[in-house]
Amino acid sequence: MTDPAVTLRLKDVSKTFGIVNVVDSISFDVKAGESVGLVGPNGAGKTTLFNCVCGQLQNDHGAVYFEDQPLNGMPTYRRARLGIGRTYQRTEVFPDMTVRNHLLVAERVHSGTGRLWKDLLNMSKPTKEEIEVSDRVMDLVGLMELADTPVAALGLGHCRLVELARALAGEPTLLLADEPSSGLDERETAAMSAVLRTVQRERGTAILLVEHDLEMVSEVVDRVVVMDLGSKVAEGTFDEVMANPAVRYAYLGESA
Ligand SMILES: Nc1ncnc2c1ncn2[C@@H]1O[C@H](COP(=O)(O)OP(=O)(O)OP(=O)(O)O)[C@@H](O)[C@H]1O
Ligand SMILES: [Mg+2]
C-alpha cells in the first residue's frame, strides 16, 4: 500500500471457523478522517472482521494494512499503539470505578508504562499529563460533569460514552465502534451520533462504524460497506447501497 490518504486497507481478508467462511475475502479502504459504516444482518461477520483488524483474531488469508503497514501477525496491544482504538458490542465497565479512572487506566494500558497491576489494585497517582488527556477526552464526549461519578450510577447511554471515551483515550487515528447505540433509546442514540461526528470533525479520526440503527448510520458515515454471510455485497453512499437489490434482499428478504 502506498497511498498516504488511506488509513485502513483490507485486502481479501478471510477468517474461517471450522468449515464456515465467516469473513470471506473482504476488501475495502477507510481513508484518513473518513467515516465508513459496516452494516449487515446478524451473523454477517462484522464483529469477526473488527477482531481481525484489532488483532483479537488473526485472519487466515489476505492482509490488513494500517497506514501503509501490514498488520498480519501483530498482537492487539501493538496495533492499539499504532493508533487503532475500538469499542465492544457488549458494554464492559467496572461499576465502582469513576469515569475518570476508567480513562486513566485506559491511558496507562495504551502507553504501557508497566504500572497497570499497581493501578488495578490501587490507582497510583496520575500525572498532570494523564489528567489532561482524560480531561480532553471527557470534554470531547461530554462526560466532564460526571468525571468523579462511579459508572454504577450511570445509565446505559452514559456507560456507552465511557466506553467510547476509553477507546479515544489513546488518541487513535482509527476508531472501530461496534454497535455503539445498542440498547440506547432514541435520544441517547442521537447523542451518540453527535459525539461520533464531533470526534471525526475535531480530531480527524477515521471511523469504522458497525451499527444496526440505519438512521444513525445515515447521519454519521460518509460511505457504507454492506456484508452478508461473510461477503461484501455492496459499497457506496448510504442512498446507493440502500437502493441496491442485493442489500434489500440481505436485509428484508426481498427478491433480488
Ligand atoms: N469464535 C467463534 N467460533 C465459531 N464461530 C464463531 C465465532 N465467532 C463468531 N462465530 C460465528 O461467525 C458468524 C459471524 O459472527 P459475527 O459475530 O462476526 O457476526 P456479526 O455480523 O457481528 O453479527 P451481529 O450483528 O449479531 O453482532 C456467526 O455465525 C457466529 O456464530
Ligand atoms: Mg457483531
pLDDT digits (tens, 9 = 90+) for 98-144: 999 999 988 888 877 555 555 555 556 888 999 999 999 999 999 99
Q: Ligand 2: distance of its center to the CA of 152 in Å?
A: 25
Strand partners of residue 66: 8, 69
Cβ-based neighbours of 222, under 8 Å, separated by 6 or more = 34, 35, 36, 237
Q: Measured from the CB, is residue 39 less than 6 Å from ligand 1?
A: no
Q: Measured from the CB, is residue 45 less than 6 Å from ligand 1?
A: yes
Residue to mutate (ligand 1; options 13, 21, 22; most atoms within 8 A of CB): 22
pTM above 0.85, yes or no: yes
Domains of the chain: 6-252 (3.40.50.300)
Return the C-alpha cell found at 50.
473488527
Reply yes or no on whether the pLDDT at 163 is more than 80: yes
Residue 72: CB atoms within 10 A of its CB come to 13
Q: Measured from the CB, is residue 167 less than 6 Å from ligand 1?
A: no
Q: Measured from the CB, is residue 51 less than 6 Å from ligand 1?
A: no
Q: Ligand 1: distance of its center to the CA of 207 in Å?
A: 21
- Mean residue pLDDT across the chain: 91
Q: 3-state SS string over 113-141?
A: CCCHHHHHHCCCCCCHHHHHHHHHHHHHH
- Per cent of the chain over pLDDT 90 is 79
Cβ-based neighbours of 201, under 8 Å, separated by 6 or more = none
Atom of ligand 1 nearest to the CA of 49: 18
Euclidean distance between CA atoms 241 and 243, whole angstroms: 5
Cβ-based neighbours of 42, under 8 Å, separated by 6 or more = none
User: Could you give the residue ranges of the DSSP H alpha helices within the chain?
Assistant: 46-54, 76-82, 99-111, 116-121, 128-141, 156-168, 186-198, 214-220, 238-242, 245-252
Q: Mind listing the pLDDT tens digit for each residue in 62-81?
A: 999 999 899 999 999 899 99
